Structure formats: structure tokens, C-alpha cells
């Protein structure tokens, strides 16, 4: 799977460098990504509100099944969508219909981040929202694409991200508990991972143990 991932990533970079060479194509991709996120939101909301038997297609068999991947993968996806939506709000002049659509995407993305409750994503969203707010205040030299006034939306996102990053055990579990959604993704701690890596490199200093070999190394050195 590691080799497949890097092969696909390389092909995506190669195709992107040749395909996305005009503003129109980049904008179409951007719009397509936002529209696809709206489809994911509607799909997941229907399953949450009406039960896991709805739109299951004999594939999505439990509460955390989704169109993106694992439950935490969906948090990463909605973290990306929230940042793209925030950047659109802060840096582009939008008509009322498109503005309402992007605001709804931002709110829905943040709600799903609360539902999934993945602290690492909250940290990244908070940092990037802070960067957007600082750039909007001091770094943007193109007034034609800049919204006037203080970046209040970005600051609100920074505050929300900080609250759920530092107090996720208190606030983050409330919504998922109310909806009866539980998901535990067991993973080793950072210290344990470092210890396993050190032991592995003692025997294979130059190349390590190879791709997709963490599980055997964990069983040897944990």
C-alpha cells in the first residue's frame, strides 16, 4: 500500500503540473472539490439522522462508514474543506448565493470536525486559520481580491480550533455521545514509536526495515 500510495501521489503531481496551467482549470477544480464536499456532507447527515441502513449499499455498514475512508480520514478531509472555505471567504469577492454556499460548507465542516473529534486536525486548522488572518491583515497586497475589515471569521475559527484542541476530552465528545457515535482508533504513543524506530535503525541504519514493516518491528521491539 505504501508503494501504491507514492505511485498514485507521483502521478497526481505529474498530471497536475500539465493540466492545471490556467486559472479557469484551477477554479473548476476548486469548485469541484467544494461541491464534492457538499455531497459528502449530505450523504453523512442522511445516515446520521435516519440510521445506518439508509444509503448503506451493503458497504457502509456502521455509523462511522463514510465516502472518504476511516473516521479520522474524514476529519482530515473536512479540515481541508474548512481551510479552503475560509480562504475563499477571506480573499475573494463573492456573490450572495456563492457566499452563502461557502459559509454553509465552513459551518458544516467545523461541525463534522467536532463530531469526529481528532485533535491533530484541530491543531492544523487553527494554525492555518491564524496564518490566513495574519496574511489578510498584513501580507495581502491585492485589494481587488481582499475583503475589507477585520478577518473576524478567521479569528473565530482560530478560537474554536484552540478550544477543541486543548479541551477535546471535555467538549469534543459531547456531540458524538448525543448521537451515539463511538470510534476508537488504537495507535502507539510517540515515545513508543521512537523507541521502536531506534531499535530498528540499530539493525538497519541506512534503509530501515522497508515500507509497510512497522507492524513486524513493533512486535519485535515494543
pLDDT at 10: 92
- Greater confidence (33 vs 61) lies with 33
- Greater confidence (150 vs 72) lies with 72
How much of the chain exceeds pLDDT 70, in percent? 86
Does residue 139 surpass a pLDDT of 70? no
pLDDT at 129: 93
- What is the mean pLDDT of the segment spanning 84-96? 84
Cα–Cα distance, 181 to 169 (Å, whole number): 15
Question: Across all residues in the chain, what is the average pLDDT?
Answer: 82
HSE toward the beta carbon, residue 32, CA cutoff 13 A: 6
pLDDT at 146: 46
Contact yes or no for 93/138 (Cβ under 8 A): no
pTM of the model: 0.72
Per-residue pLDDT reduced to its tens digit, 9-56: 899 888 888 887 777 787 788 788 888 888 988 888 888 788 777 787
> Which residue, 47, 106, 117, is CA-closest to 75?
117
> Which residue, 188, 183, 174, 168, is CA-closest to 117?
168
Does residue 144 surpass a pLDDT of 50? no
Helices (H), ranges, 92-172: 96-116, 119-134, 152-166
Amino acid at each position: 500500500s505504501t508503494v501504491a500510495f507514492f505511485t498514485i501521489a507521483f502521478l497526481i503531481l505529474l498530471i497536475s503540473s500539465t493540466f492545471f496551467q490556467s486559472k479557469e482549470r484551477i477554479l473548476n477544480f476548486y469548485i469541484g472539490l467544494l461541491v464534492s464536499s457538499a455531497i459528502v456532507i449530505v450523504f453523512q447527515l442522511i445516515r446520521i439522522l435516519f440510521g445506518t441502513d439508509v444509503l448503506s449499499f451493503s458497504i457502509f455498514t456502521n455509523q462511522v462508514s463514510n465516502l472518504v475512508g476511516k473516521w479520522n480520514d474524514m476529519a482530515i478531509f473536512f479540515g481541508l474543506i474548512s481551510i479552503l472555505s475560509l480562504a475563499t471567504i477571506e480573499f475573494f469577492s463573492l456573490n450572495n448565493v456563492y457566499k452563502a454556499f461557502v459559509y454553509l460548507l465552513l459551518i458544516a465542516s467545523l461541525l463534522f470536525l467536532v463530531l469526529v473529534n481528532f485533535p491533530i486536525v484541530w491543531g492544523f486548522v487553527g494554525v492555518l486559520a491564524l496564518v490566513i488572518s495574519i496574511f489578510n491583515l498584513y501580507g495581502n497586497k491585492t485589494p481587488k481580491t481582499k475583503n475589507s475589515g477585520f478577518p473576524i471569521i478567521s479569528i473565530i475559527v482560530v478560537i474554536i480550533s484552540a478550544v477543541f484542541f486543548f479541551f477535546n476530552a471535555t467538549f469534543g465528545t459531547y456531540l458524538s455521545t448525543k448521537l451515539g457515535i463511538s470510534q476508537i482508533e488504537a495507535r502507539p504513543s510517540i515515545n513508543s514509536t521512537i523507541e521502536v524506530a531506534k531499535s530498528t535503525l540499530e539493525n538497519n541504519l541506512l534503509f530501515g526495515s522497508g515500507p509497510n514493516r512497522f507492524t513486524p518491528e513493533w512486535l519485535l521491539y515494543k
